Amino acid sequence: MTDDVLLVHGGTPIEGEIRVRGAKNLVPKAMVAALLGSAPSRLRNVPEIRDVRVVRGLLQLHGVTVRSGEEPGELVLDPSHVESANVADIDAHAGSSRIPILFCGPLLHRLGHAFIPGLGGCDIGGRPVDFHFDVLRQFGAVIEKRADGQYLEAPQRLRGCKIRLPYPSVGSTEQVLLTAVLAEGVTELTNAAVEPEIEDLICVLQKMGAIISLDTDRTIRITGVDRLGGYTHRALPDRLEAASWASAALATKGSVYVRGASQREMLTFLNVYRKVGGAFEVDESGIRFWHPGGPLNAIALETDVHPGFQTDWQQPLVVALTQASGLSIVHETVYESRLGFTSALNQMGAHIQLYRECLGGTPCRFGQRNFLHSAVVSGPTTLQGGDLVIPDLRGGFSYLIAALAAEGTSRVHGIELINRGYENFLNKLEELGAKVERP
3-state secondary structure of 202: helix
3-state secondary structure of 241: helix
Q: Residue 379 is inside which H or E element, if any?
A: strand 374-379
Contacts with 403 (C-beta within 8 Å, 6 or more apart), sequence order: 8, 10, 385, 386, 388, 410, 412
Active-site entry in 104, 122, 161, 358? 122
Contacts with 315 (C-beta within 8 Å, 6 or more apart), sequence order: 338, 341, 394, 395, 397, 398
Rounded CA-CA distance 170/102 in Å is: 11
What torsion do the CA atoms of 364, 370, 374, 380 make, to the nearest 10 degrees? Answer: 180
Alpha helix stretches (DSSP H) within 214-266: 239-251
Closest to 50 in 3D by CA, of 10, 105, 96: 96
Q: Are the beta carbons of 104 and 175 closer than 8 angstroms?
A: yes
Rounded CA-CA distance 204/235 in Å is: 9
Q: What are the C-alpha distances in Å from 139 to residues 102, 128, 173, 212, 219?
A: 14, 19, 14, 17, 18
Q: What are the C-alpha distances in Å from 319 to residues 99, 156, 169?
A: 29, 52, 26
Rounded CA-CA distance 318/394 in Å is: 11
Check if 358 is active-site: no
Catalogue the active-site residues: 122
